[in-house]
Amino acid sequence: ESLRFMKAIGVDVTSPSFATVDFYTAHEALLLPYEQALTRIDSTTGEWYDCSAHMLWVGERTRQVDGAHVEFLSGLPNPIGVKISEE
């Protein structure tokens, strides 16, 4: 329905921008064995990337500064998010 409406108001819906989408994923890096199993070396840079998501984040369960989750994520060039709360 949205595309029909856009076409009705004169938008060119055959434009390439309507045929593709950039899709990104993110999740808390909670299960270290899972994250480690999906970590690969980039063949062009030689850096380690976690391929389980585009962006990983540290949350309530993984935020210990001296913990294994923060240590693991500190060695990756992936974008890292931090969940901030009252706790």
AA letter at 60: E
* Chain centroid, CA 17 distance in Å: 22
Kindly give, in sequence order, each residue whose CB lies less than 8 Å from that of residue 77, ignoring residues fewer than 6 positions away: 45, 47, 48, 49
Look up residue 62 and give its two tokens.
Answer: 């993984």
pLDDT of 87 higher than 80:
no
pLDDT at 73 over 80: yes
At residue 16, the pLDDT reads 86
**pLDDT (mean) for 63-85:** 93
Rounded distance, CA 11 to CA 84, Å? Answer: 41
Measure the CA–CA gap between 29 and 55, rounded to whole angstroms: 9
- Answer whether 50's CB lies under 8 Å from 39's CB: yes
55, pLDDT greater than 90? yes
Rounded to two decimals, the pTM is 0.72
Return the pLDDT at 86.
81
